C-alpha cells in the first residue's frame, strides 16, 4: 500500500519535536501522518506525552473517520498520550461510523492501556496491513494483545 499525502502540500506530514530545558535535551518524539487507502496512519516514535496531543489532533484533521496509530516505537506513554489516541479523534471517528485501531502497542503503551481499562476499547493488530484490512467492528488479534 502506498502512502498518500494528508496535508494537501504534496508530502506526508513529518514532525520532530525537541524540547530543551536548561540546555539539556530531553527525549524527542517523531510523529508521521500519512494516508493509506481510506485510513489515516499515525506513526509515533519516542515519548507519547503532552507535547503530542495537539500535534496529532491537528495533523489528523477533523474529517478523518478511520485512524490507525502505529505504536510499535513508543518508548513512553502517559495519560496525555492516551488522550491523543482516545480523545476527540476517536469520538469523531466512532460517531461517523469509523474506527480507531492500534498496531503493535509497545510494552509501555500496552501497560497504560490495560491499567486505564482501554485495552478492550481499542482493537490492536500485529501489523498495519492487518489493521487496515480487518472489517470495521473487528476486535484485536490475539498475538497483539498477548505480547
How do residues 51-88 score in pLDDT, each as one tens digit?
888 888 888 877 788 999 999 999 999 888 888 888 87
Question: Tens of pLDDT along 83-131?
Answer: 888 887 888 888 888 889 999 988 888 888 888 888 778 888 999 999 9
Which residues is 12 bridged to in the sheet? Answer: none
- pTM value > 0.85: no
CB 28 within 8 A of CB 17: yes
Number of Cβ atoms within 10 Å of the Cβ of 91: 11
Q: How far is CA 133 from the centre of its chain?
A: 17
Cell 516505537 sits at which residue?
Answer: 73
Edge-first strand listing for the sheet containing 66-77 = 13-17, 29-36, 39-48, 66-77, 99-103, 124-125
Contacts for 91 with CB less than 8 Å, ≥ 6 apart: none
Cα gap 103→82, rounded to integer Å: 14
> What are residue 61's phi and psi, to 5 degrees?
90, 160
Amino acid at each position: 500500500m502506498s502512502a498518500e499525502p494528508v496535508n494537501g502540500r504534496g508530502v506526508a506530514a513529518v514532525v520532530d519535536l525537541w524540547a530543551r530545558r536548561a540546555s539539556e535535551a530531553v527525549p524527542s518524539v517523531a510523529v508521521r501522518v500519512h494516508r493509506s487507502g481510506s485510513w489515516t496512519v499515525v506513526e509515533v516514535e519516542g515519548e507519547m506525552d503532552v507535547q503530542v496531543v495537539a500535534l496529532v489532533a491537528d495533523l489528523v484533521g477533523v474529517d478523518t473517520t478511520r485512524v490507525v496509530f502505529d505504536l510499535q516505537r513508543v518508548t513512553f506513554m502517559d495519560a496525555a498520550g492516551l488522550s491523543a489516541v482516545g480523545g476527540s479523534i476517536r469520538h469523531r471517528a466512532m460517531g461517523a461510523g469509523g474506527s480507531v485501531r492500534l498496531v503493535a502497542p509497545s510494552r509501555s503503551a500496552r501497560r497504560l492501556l490495560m491499567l486505564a481499562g482501554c485495552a478492550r476499547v481499542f482493537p490492536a493488530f500485529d501489523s498495519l496491513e492487518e489493521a487496515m484490512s480487518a472489517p470495521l467492528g473487528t476486535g484485536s488479534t490475539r498475538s497483539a494483545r498477548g505480547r
